[in-house]
């Protein structure tokens, strides 16, 4: 499985949170060390690991409780979101020329799979209904020209060659003119690779780039080289200016370092990935799918997402009610029940800043109050719950609620007053300072 070792390394982090109730600075310390180790072992570059771990820790400690979601699941989700961000967030699409052929210039060191990518790309575009031409710009190795010609035949795409005696920039120019004449949609230019970066290669690439004015300049890098791939993307970008990278050999036992480091280190996105030797093994790089594969927990992720969405919807619903001052006893009840579901009142109070030092007696008192409120609200008619004004206006109704709930009339009046106070306070909290005035209960 791709990045299997990374997946396993991360699993030990989640496992350490089993049985915990909330994420705290203390209980995430060990899982965060596991995450850090797993990323380093996957050959992610150290500064990237540091930033990543810091960001995940910050979010984990500050994360709000989502009902029904366990802390280890919450951490999985935070890591997932952060992995996506690390890899650039959205899929980074290839751009196409507005008029005339789109020119894609491919660069890369020898053996990374550049020639293979040329043919794969051609096949990829053909499937999209675009016509393609390959240009053999690697003039140093006759074998490279032959290889491109063979691959071109294989995917049924013309290959422009001019032997080994012509300057690469001239071949590129000629190939482009030829493609223009033939109304070709996409021209893919192969260039010479070297075993290592050297000045001659960079100068040649600059030359080709100048005469071609390509739409995309893509550096092909080998996933097996880990964070070295990210360093290469940075260097090529500084030297010649590139628009992105293509990551090859993701099907091998690469550890993930390249996929996770390229964007963050170089600022340039991975646009496509190669996942095999066959011509159809080339696809866009989807950060979210990649993050999902790394974590290998699709079900947990969608569950957490749904829970968060639901909570968000409820919150928005509530906000609407508050803004229109329609917050009623049904909402009141929902809120207290939410508090109850989230665990004990003490835990919730503990999460409110400045409220940490409540005594156990105060907590018991608060819990008893909540229970009393529920009993009183249950004694109201549905209409009264929705329109608390009815109770505010009618001592007779309040008397009936008191009798049915077994509480005193004073307790009932207090609760009603509290609801109206809440309406005003909540509106103020929402930034609507005009608020409203508190109704006084009529006798």
Applying CB under 6 A, which residues contact ligand GDP?
A: 108, 110-116, 193, 248-249, 251-252, 274-277, 281
Identify which of residues 170 and 281 has a Cβ nearer to ligand GDP in the complex: 281
Cβ distance to ligand GDP smaller for residue 256 or 274? 274
Side-chain half-sphere exposure of 54, counting CA atoms within 13 A = 6
Q: In sequence order, what are the beta bridge partners of 245?
A: 219, 270
Burial of 129 (0-12, 13-18, 19+ CB in 10 A): exposed
| Cβ burial 266-291 (10 Å sphere, 16+ → b, else e) | bebbbbbbbbeeebebbeebbbbebb
Least Å distance between CB 254 and ligand GDP? 10
Smallest gap from residue 221 Cβ to ligand GDP (A)? 10
User: How crowded is the C-beta side of 152, counted as CA atoms within 13 Å?
Assistant: 21
Work out the burial of residue 170: count CB atoms within 10 Å of its CB; fewer than 13 is exposed, 13-18 middle, 19 or more buried. Answer: middle
* CB contact at 8 A, 332 and 377: yes
| The pairing of beta strand 282-284 with beta strand 270-274 | antiparallel
Closer CB to ligand GDP, 108 or 388, in the complex: 108
31/79 Cα distance (integer angstroms): 11
C-beta of 33 vs 141, nearer to ligand GDP: 141
Q: How far is the CB of 115 from ligand GDP (least distance, A)?
A: 3
> Minimum distance from CB of 119 to ligand GDP (Å)?
8
- Report the residue number, 275 or 321, with the smaller CB distance to ligand GDP: 275
Exposed / middle / buried, residue 387 (Cβ in 10 Å: 0-12, 13-18, 19+): middle
Nearer to ligand GDP, 272 or 412 (CB): 272
Under 8 Å between Cβ of 8 and 39: no
Provide the minimum distance between the beta carbon of 200 and ligand GDP in the complex, in angstroms, as a whole number: 17
3-state SS, residue 104: strand
Residue 153 CB coordination number (10 Å): 12
**C-beta of 128: minimal distance to ligand GDP in Å?**
20
**Distance of alpha carbon 135 from alpha carbon 154, whole angstroms:** 15
Q: Dihedral sign, CA of 151, 156, 158, 163?
A: positive
Q: Tell me, what DSSP letter sits at residue 94?
A: P
Nearest to 14 by CA among 102, 74, 100, 97: 74
How far apart are alpha carbons 247 and 233 in whole angstroms?
Answer: 11
Q: Measured from the CB of residue 349, what is the shortest distance to ligand GDP in angstroms?
A: 56
Pairing type for strands 216-222 and 244-248 reads: parallel
| Residue among 195 and 356 whose Cβ is closer to ligand GDP | 195
CB of residue 27 vs ligand GDP: minimum separation in angstroms? 41
Task: Specify whether the CB–CB gap between 220 and 114 falls below 8 A.
Answer: yes
Looking at the Cβ atoms of 78 and 136, the one nearer to ligand GDP is 136
d(CA 139, CA 145): 7
Least separation in angstroms between CB 108 and ligand GDP: 6
Residues shown for the chain? 443
Closer by beta carbon to ligand GDP, 88 or else 113: 113
Phi, psi torsion values for 357, nearest 5 degrees:
-100, 40
Quote the least distance from Cβ 110 to ligand GDP, whole Å: 5
Nearest CB to ligand GDP, comparing residues 152 and 388: 152
Q: Which residue has the tokens 């790089």?
A: 285
Tell me the C-alpha distance between 69 and 185, whole Å.
Answer: 50
Nearer to ligand GDP, 119 or 401 (CB): 119
Q: Please identify, using beta-carbon distances, which residue of 111 and 241 lies nearer to ligand GDP.
A: 111
């Amino acid at each position: 499985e791709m990045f299997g070792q990374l997946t396993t390394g991360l699993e030990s982090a989640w496992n350490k949170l089993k049985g915990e109730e909330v994420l705290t600075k203390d209980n995430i310390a060990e899982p965060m060390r596991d995450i850090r180790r797993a990323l380093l072992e996957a050959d992610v570059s150290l500064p990237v690991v540091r930033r990543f771990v810091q960001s995940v820790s910050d979010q984990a400690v500050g994360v709000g409780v989502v009902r029904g979601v366990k802390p280890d699941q919450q951490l999985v989700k935070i890591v997932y979101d952060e992995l996506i961000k690390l890899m650039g967030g959205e899929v980074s699409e290839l751009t196409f020329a507005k008029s005339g052929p789109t020119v894609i210039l491919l660069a890369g060191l020898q053996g990374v799979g550049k020639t293979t990518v040329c043919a794969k790309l051609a096949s990829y575009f053909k499937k999209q209904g675009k016509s393609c031409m390959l240009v053999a710009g690697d003039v140093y190795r006759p074998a490279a020209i032959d290889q491109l010609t063979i691959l071109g035949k294989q995917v049924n795409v013309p290959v422009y060659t001019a032997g080994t005696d012509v300057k690469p920039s001239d071949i590129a120019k000629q190939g482009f003119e030829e493609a223009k004449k033939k109304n070709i949609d996409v021209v893919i230019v192969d260039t010479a690779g070297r075993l290592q970066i050297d000045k001659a290669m960079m100068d040649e690439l600059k030359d080709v780039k100048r005469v071609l004015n390509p739409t995309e300049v893509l550096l092909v890098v080998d996933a097996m080289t880990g964070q070295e791939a990210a360093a290469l993307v940075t260097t090529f970008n500084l030297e010649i200016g590139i628009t992105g990278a293509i990551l090859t050999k993701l099907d091998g036992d690469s550890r993930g370092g390249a996929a996770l480091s390229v964007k963050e280190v170089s600022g340039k996105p991975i646009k496509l990935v190669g996942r095999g030797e066959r011509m159809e093994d080339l696809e866009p790089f989807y950060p979210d799918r990649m993050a999902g594969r790394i974590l290998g927990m699709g079900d947990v992720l969608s569950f957490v997402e749904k829970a968060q969405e639901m909570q968000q919807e409820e919150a928005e619903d509530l906000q609407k009610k508050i803004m229109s001052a329609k917050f009623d006893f049904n909402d009141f009840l929902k809120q207290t029940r939410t508090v109850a579901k989230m665990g004990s009142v003490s835990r919730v109070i503990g999460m409110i800043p400045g409220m940490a030092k409540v005594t156990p007696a105060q907590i018991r008192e608060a819990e008893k109050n909540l229970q009393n409120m529920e009993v009183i609200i249950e004694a109201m008619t549905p209409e009264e719950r929705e329109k608390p004004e009815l109770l505010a206006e009618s001592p007779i109704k309040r008397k009936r609620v008191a009798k049915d709930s077994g509480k005193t009339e004073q307790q009932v009046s207090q609760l009603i007053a509290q609801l109206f106070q809440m309406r005003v306070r909540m509106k103020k909290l929402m930034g609507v300072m005009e608020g409203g005035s508190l109704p006084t209960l009529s006798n």
